[in-house]
Amino acid sequence: MSHFTVFLKRDCATCQAVAPVIAELRARGLALIAWVQDDPGFYASLGAEDDTSLRASFLADVETVPTVVRDDGAKAEGWDRAAWEELTGQPDLGPGLPPFQPGCGSKTREPFVHEALAARFGPALLAARAIPLGAWDDDAEACFDRGWSDGLPVVPPTDARILRMLAGTKRLPNEIVGSIPPNLVPCTVEKVAINAVMAGCRPEYMPVLLAALEAALEPVFTLHGVTCSTCFSAPVIVVNGPIARRIGMNSGANALGQGNRANATIGRALNLIIRNVGGAVPGGIDQATLGGPHKVGFCFAEAEDDPTWQPLAQARGIAPGRSAVTLFQGEGIQGVIDWRSRTADELARSLALSLLAVGHWKLCEFFNAILVLAPEHHAIFRNAGWGRGEVEGALRAALRRPGRDLVAGAGGVGEGMATARAEDMVDKFWPEGLLVVRAGGAAGLYSAICAGWTGGRFRHESQPVTREIVA
């Protein structure tokens, strides 16, 4: 004889409506247990079992109440007379009820509940070693004490939070993403999720973070050098495509600043992985002379609201409509103010004057850079009919200078290029070394420059990396 289990809760009108049906099934001799998620006493006449821990409901994978389950795993959800009659083999059930009445959501599916139940009652899905804390320990302080923080508080990575984060990707927790410099420690998707939790990410950020990490691990990104350098450098993440809008990234006002969760935490998570998995601890292997706030995290989305402008990812080979990250070896922001230039030629020359200062005025083909065009500056180019190609071409021309002004010793300054370049016309950046993106608020004739690091002088060994984002 088949056995049946029914799952109910008091706070469900359909559950209350089917209580007489459950009593009738028992009266007909069916072996049936009723589990109640919230108030077993309300169904005392059914001899209901207490499932306020939600263990039974979780193990039965209940999504809706009422749900009746046969011992072979077959289910009927909500009240559906035909389905209940077929499942139980009993005719003429609930004559006073409508043929169909939807149920309510199971308490196991309420926000944050399912992952907590999975951590408590589910199979062991996590491989990382758990750190036991005492009853009176403060979990946030424990993270500081173990060196897992970048100096700011982190979110303690509980099992439930890690499982919730892993739900943001289709990739398996034990998949190895790569070995993280400088210690070349293998990093699994689970470890990515742990650091994403600590950084404050949401699960839907995981595809962006994984793509950024994989871009950082490309040999040509030279993550070991970027991380361990005495320079200011750290990964800078630029996000393009539909995912930026879907996860609520900021490409508008204050896009390079604080206040947006996705921008702030994705960049932070990448740097926490480099620290906590790769071992890049400041003052240890990380030997930055000064560093900068960007070493906590630097991530933003490019504005893609103007069809006349080709987004950075497309300019770097990603198909239109696809999402991508571009990882740049960069530092903090140098502001560019020009309130007076009104023609495209004037503005290009003006922006070039500020770009000349990247690294040092006399060092050329030595650094890469990002130029972030704010809307009011971009409008001057757009109104002149200039797109990406025209802007980049004009900047390149304005940044070319006589080598005699740049060599070491010229102008009474010891820094500079080799004297052999004195008769050359020298470009400030390699042809692919200046990345132009659009971002920022609608008001203000301000743009910004993010300088690259000294490894950029090795043109073919150290370059920005663009990678498509996949689920």
Residue 27: give its domain's CATH number. Answer: 3.40.30.10
Residue 460 lies in a domain: yes
Total of domains in the chain: 3
Dihedral pair phi/psi, residue 181, rounded to 5°: -65, 160
Whether 338 and 406 share a structural domain: yes
Residue 286 clears pLDDT 90, i.e. is over it: no
Strand order in the sheet with 67-70: 49-50, 31-36, 3-8, 67-70, 75-77
- With respect to residue 470, please indicate whether it lies within any of the assigned structural domains: yes
Percent of the chain whose predicted confidence (pLDDT) is above 70: 100
pLDDT of residue 425: 95
> Which amino acid type is present at position 91?
P
Are 256 and 334 contacting, i.e. CB atoms less than 8 angstroms apart?
no
**What are 152-204's pLDDT values in tens digits?**
999 999 999 999 999 999 999 999 999 999 999 999 999 999 999 999 999 99
- What is the per-residue pLDDT for 255? 96
| 89/211 same-domain check | no
Indicate if 125 and 144 belong to the same structural domain: yes
Q: Is 131 helix (H, G, I), strand (E, B) or coil?
A: coil
What's the CA angle centered on 356, arms 348 and 416, to 5 degrees? 150
Beta-carbon count within 10 A of 77 CB: 18
Residue 306 and residue 376 in one domain? yes
Q: How confident is the model at residue 43 (pLDDT cuts 50, 70, 90)?
A: very high
pLDDT tens, position by position, 235-272: 999 999 999 999 999 999 999 999 999 999 999 999 99
Tokens of 425: 């016309």
305 and 442 share a domain? yes
pLDDT at 456: 86
Q: Scanning the structure block, which residue is given the tokens 């109440």?
A: 65
Same domain, 218 and 157: yes
H helix or E strand, kind and range, residue 79:
strand 79-80
Question: Among residues of the chain, what percentage have pLDDT more than 90?
Answer: 86
Average confidence (pLDDT) over 275-287: 88
Q: Alpha-carbon distance 373 to 351, whole Å?
A: 10
Q: Are residues 80 and 140 in the same domain?
A: no
Neighbours of 108 (CB within 10 A): 24
The token pair that represents 398 in the structure block: 């304005």
Q: Do 128 and 82 share a structural domain?
A: no
Residue 82 counted as domain residue: yes
CB 269 within 8 A of CB 297: yes
pLDDT recorded at residue 230: 86
Shared-domain flag, residues 204 and 115: yes
Asked if residue 323 is part of any domain, the answer here is yes
Distances (CA, A) of 249 to 93, 260, 270, 278, 466: 52, 7, 16, 27, 18
Q: Which residues contact 100 (CB under 8 A, 6 or more apart)?
A: 78, 79, 80, 81
Tens-place pLDDT, residues 349-388: 999 999 999 999 999 999 999 999 999 999 999 999 999 9
Q: Are 335 and 463 within one domain?
A: yes
Based on the fold, state whether residues 309 and 290 are members of the same structural domain.
Answer: no
Tell which of 272, 297, 322 closes a domain.
297
Q: Cβ contacts of residue 85 below 8 Å, gap of 6+?
A: 91, 92, 93
Secondary structure class of 186 (helix, strand, coil): strand
Task: Return d(Cα 467, Cα 471) in angstroms, integer.
Answer: 13
DSSP summary character for residue 421 = G
Least confident span in 82-86, 159-163, 288-292, 420-424? 288-292
Domain final residue, candidates 83, 107, 131: 107
Whether omega before 66 lies within 30 degrees of 0, making that bond cis, reads yes
Kindly tell me the burial class for residue 319, based on how many C-beta atoms sit within 10 Å of its own C-beta (0-12, 13-18, 19 or more): exposed
| CB-count exposure of residue 427 (10 Å: 0-12, 13-18, 19+) | middle
Q: Are residues 79 and 145 in the same domain?
A: no
pLDDT score of 471: 78
Does 452 reside within a domain? Answer: yes
H or E element in which residue 88 lies:
helix 81-88
Mean pLDDT of 409-432: 93
Q: Is there a domain that residue 409 lies in?
A: yes
Residue 374 lies in a domain: yes
pLDDT of res. 133 = 85
Name the residue range of residue 270's domain: 111-230+257-297
Residue 77 — pLDDT band, cuts 50, 70, 90?
very high
Give a yes or no: residue 353 inside a domain.
Answer: yes
pLDDT in tens, 9-24: 999 999 999 999 999 9
The pLDDT value recorded for residue 1 is 74
Which residue, among 212, 14, 157, has the nearest Cα to 99 in the 3D structure? Answer: 14
Q: Which of 267, 297, 327 is the last residue of a domain?
A: 297
